[in-house]
């Protein structure tokens, strides 16, 4: 799926802030403490029917959407935001919030907002009100709220999952995904049995991705298994097995991720770690077991994978071409 990219990094420092403000015209007024130091920022936007997913990387800044701006450009989308590494301070009408990194919060472009943010990458999920009126009561009720709940944690993981998956989104998924995303947001910010049932597929995908991220953080742990996963995900053992049933079960899924990590290391020409060491870190009983499992998984031996990488035969990733756009305001107004 194509995206729209904008960056000020190639501009001279004295022109960076002005260019960024023009890109965000009608959406956020930007103020920074030291404009003479420039404003090197990047943003990338994926648009679906009624939705926009925005990834923004900036230095420290203060961003304000004033009441005058709202009257001039009455875009009223809801926005769900997470910061990847740093906290943010946000004033919304009469509320003042402090939002930790990795925790989603809900706000609206139809309301005054004044935020103070450190240098970070932030992910914004913009949802057009007129396209998702079914979810309006849930999203309006949670506007100006930090979603620091287990379901909020699941929603944050889901947003991170979207960041990874959107570039490879098929045309068929592009048309079916928006309602599913909105249903997931509503179920997590204002949960009910009905909303959770509607968002079952998205909740399952987010749970599975949370399991994947936990396993990747603990690949070398000898204690990695169903008990640790159940505790991390907050699910029963039977639900965990159902979650990973299509992947051959818990042990098979863990082994698959360990083998993928081994493949990644062997495919890196600069990695000189002995294959025996990589096998040992994979949690296999011995080197021969690792080699047999590796060949079953990828059709080649660990030695063949390393030799191919050193010969420059590792496939490269092809990036989609960006689509031209004048500003993010224009993109959001077309949702």
Q: What is the pLDDT of residues 161-200, one digit of tens each?
A: 999 888 888 777 777 788 888 889 988 888 888 888 888 8
Strands in 113-117's sheet, in edge-to-edge order, are 29-31, 61-65, 113-117, 88-92, 95-99
4-209 belongs to CATH 2.60.120.10: yes
User: Alpha-carbon distance 315 to 227, whole Å?
Assistant: 37
Burial category of 317 from C-beta neighbours within 10 Å (exposed 0-12, middle 13-18, buried 19 and up): exposed
Q: What is the pLDDT of residue 36?
A: 63
pLDDT in tens, 83-103: 999 999 988 877 888 999 999
The arithmetic mean of pLDDT across residues 282-294, rounded, is: 82
Q: Strand 78-83 vs strand 120-127: parallel, antiparallel, or unpaired?
A: antiparallel
Q: What is the pLDDT of residue 335?
A: 67
pLDDT at 262 over 70: yes
Of 18-32, 71-85, 162-176, 259-273, where does mean pLDDT reach its minimum? Answer: 18-32
Q: What's the pLDDT band for 25 if we cut at 50, 70, 90?
A: confident
pLDDT in tens, 109-155: 888 888 888 999 999 999 988 888 888 888 888 888 899 998 899 99
**How high does pLDDT run on average in the chain?**
84
Q: What is the pLDDT of residue 319?
A: 35
Q: What is the pLDDT of residue 200?
A: 86
Share of the chain above pLDDT 90, in %: 19
CATH topology classification for 218-310 = Arc Repressor Mutant, subunit A (1.10.10)
pLDDT at 45 over 90: yes
> Which token pair is 216?
């990747």
Share of the chain above pLDDT 70, in %: 91
pLDDT at 316 over 50: no
How many helices, marked H, and strands, marked E, lie in the chain? 14, 12
- Which candidate, 333, 44, 27, 52, places its Cα nearest to that of 181? 52
Q: What's the pLDDT band for 321 if we cut at 50, 70, 90?
A: very low
> What are the helix (H) ranges across 244-286?
250-266, 275-281
Residue-range domain boundaries for the chain: 4-209, 218-310
CA–CA distances in Å: residue 285 to residues 9, 222, 274, 291: 49, 11, 16, 11
Q: What is the pLDDT of residue 332?
A: 60
User: Alpha-carbon distance 41 to 132, whole Å?
Assistant: 31
User: Alpha-carbon distance 335 to 333, whole Å?
Assistant: 6
């Amino acid at each position: 799926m194509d995206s729209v990219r904008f960056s000020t990094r190639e501009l001279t420092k004295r022109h960076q802030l002005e260019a960024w403000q023009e890109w965000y015209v009608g959406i956020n007024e930007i103020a920074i403490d030291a404009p003479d130091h420039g404003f090197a920022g990047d943003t990338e936007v994926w648009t679906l029917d009624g939705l926009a997913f925005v990834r923004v990387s900036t230095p420290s800044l203060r961003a304000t959407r004033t009441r005058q701006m709202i009257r001039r450009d009455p875009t009223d989308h809801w926005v769900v935001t997470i910061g990847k590494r740093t906290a943010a301070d946000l004033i919304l009408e009469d509320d003042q919030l402090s939002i930790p990194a990795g925790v989603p919060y809900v706000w609206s472009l139809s309301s005054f907002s004044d935020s103070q943010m450190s240098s970070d990458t932030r992910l914004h999920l913009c949802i057009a009100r007129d396209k998702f009126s079914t979810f309006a009561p849930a999203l309006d009720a949670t506007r100006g709220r930090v979603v620091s709940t287990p379901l909020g944690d699941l929603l944050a993981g889901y947003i991170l999952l979207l960041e990874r998956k959107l570039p490879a989104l098929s045309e068929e998924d592009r048309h079916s995904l928006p309602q599913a995303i909105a249903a997931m947001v509503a179920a997590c910010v204002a949960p009910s049995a009905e909303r959770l049932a509607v968002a079952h597929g998205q909740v399952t995908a987010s749970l599975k991705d949370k399991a994947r991220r936990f396993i990747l953080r603990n690949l070398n742990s000898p204690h990695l298994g169903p008990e640790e996963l159940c505790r991390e995900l907050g699910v029963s053992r039977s639900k965990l097995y159902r979650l990973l049933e299509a992947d051959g079960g818990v042990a098979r899924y863990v082994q698959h991720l360990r083998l993928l990590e081994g493949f990644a290391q062997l495919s890196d020409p600069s990695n000189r770690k002995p294959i025996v060491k990589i096998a040992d870190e994979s949690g296999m009983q011995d080197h021969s077991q690792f080699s047999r499992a590796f060949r079953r998984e990828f059709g080649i031996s660990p030695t063949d994978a390393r030799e191919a990488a050193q010969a420059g035969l590792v496939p490269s990733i092809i990036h989609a071409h960006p689509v031209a756009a004048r500003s993010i305001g224009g993109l959001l107004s077309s949702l």
